[in-house]
Amino acid sequence: MPTVHLTDADHEAIAAELDALRQRVTAELGARDAAYIHRVIAWQRGLEAGGRAVLQIAALLPRDRRTALRRSVWAAGTATLSLAKILENMEIGHNVMHGQWDWMRDPKIHSTTWEWDAVAPADLWKHLHNVVHHTNTNVLGVDDDLGFGLLRITPEQPWNPACVAQPLYALLLMAFFEYGVAVADLEIDKILAGEDDREVTQAKLRTIRRKIARQWSKDYVAFPLLSGRRFGSTLLANFVANTVRNLWATTVIYCGHFPGDVEVFPPERLDGETHGQWYVRQLTGSANIAGGRVLDLLSGNLSHQIEHHLFPDMPSHRLAKIAPQVRALCDKYDLPYNSASLARQVGSTWKKIFRLSLP
């Protein structure tokens, strides 16, 4: 346990220092910050429009000796659309729905109105993620993000023969992550046990069905229809873009909580937990990905997962700026600051997934 040396006074001091840091950043927020999110949204929409336009050009090219050109144009359009979807989900949607930009009082960029480009309904995600996950980070049996109900990622989770295939489950979850997120708030274990509120469950299912229908109508019907006879080609491009987004998002998420040095907590940790102890749990239950500005942007700044978990509603582009101060606090109180390259965090995560697939 990397925190057993902390006293009650230490926890109070840590809380005071982090609260002060939060207050300083909040007081500084202004026009430059607002310009940042408006700029990113403009970039994302430009990329999406550009990607879809390029796919239409690919659909118009004839099937002849220029097939290689058509395939190259299709690949460029698909890659651009993939990038647009990553930006929308990671740096924009996730962070807007955290309330990071509510201070602007812009009804179009607000946690209560934003609906992201994914099959998971925003309202269900906000409860599951903002309330359940961020409040109970890495608490076994309470935080649904701890293995997503499919993966054994700590020895404290009981092993069963199905765990042997968990590397495959992990890959499938990555590819179809948005669907896993869509149904996660249903509490399927309660449904199977007959312990759920049927009216609530049915209401959630209707919401999920409506959102899936909306997304499929857009990506797999409307835009492919614009391509005429190349309907299938554009449909495939949209499917690939969604899958690339899913794979990238889960890679970042896995690296934020699954690496080997990240701490997992028993349910009793929540009993009487103080503000300072909550901060420390966020520190030791999260991991950063060391990289540059491009990685920060594409990860939605979840490359600074530690700072994000300390301050979930702090504008994401501010996290890199406060990271040195958070690291200094960890050094001061002899706390681990789990940060490593993307390759190292991915390796640590998959090593754990494979190791814990066995008894």
In order, the DSSP letters of 292-352 are: -HHHHHHTTTGGGHHHHHH-TTS-GGGHHHHHHHHHHHHHHTT----EEEHHHHHHHHHHH
Q: What is the mean pLDDT of residues 217-221?
A: 98
The reply to whether 176 falls in a domain is no
Residue 142 located in a structural domain: no
Q: pLDDT tens-digit profile of 252-282?
A: 999 999 998 899 999 999 999 999 999 999 9
Cα 313 versus chain centre, distance: 14
Distance of CA 122 to the CA centre of its chain: 13
Token pair belonging to 137: 């980070």
pTM above 0.85, yes or no: yes
Structural contact between residues 289 and 308, judged by C-beta atoms closer than 8 angstroms: no
Average pLDDT on 205-212 reads: 98
Is 312 domain-assigned? yes
Tokens representing residue 145 in the block: 């993000």
Residue bearing the bigger pLDDT, 62 or 359 = 359
Question: What's the pLDDT at 1?
Answer: 60
Query: Rounded to 5 degrees, what are φ and ψ at 15?
Result: -60, -40
Q: Quick: pLDDT tens for 336-352.
A: 999 999 999 999 999 99
> What is the domain extent for residue 72?
8-120+213-355
**Model confidence over 109-152: pLDDT tens digits?**
999 999 999 999 999 999 999 999 999 999 999 998 988 889 99
In a domain, 234, yes or no: yes
Of 357, 351, 356, which Cα lies nearest the Cα of 162?
A: 357
Asked whether residue 328 is assigned to any structural domain, the reply reads yes
In a domain, 342, yes or no: yes
At 340, give phi and psi (nearest 5°): -155, 170
Residues paired with 288 in a beta bridge: 339
Cβ contacts of 53 within 8 Å, gap of 6 or more:
77
Q: Answer yes or no: is 194 within a domain.
A: no
Q: Is the pLDDT of residue 65 over 60?
A: no
Whether 64 has a pLDDT exceeding 90, the answer reads no
Per the prediction, the chain carries an average pLDDT of 96
- Domain count for the chain, please give it: 1
Does 202 fall in a domain?
no
| pLDDT value, residue 326 | 99
The single-letter code of the amino acid at 239 is: F
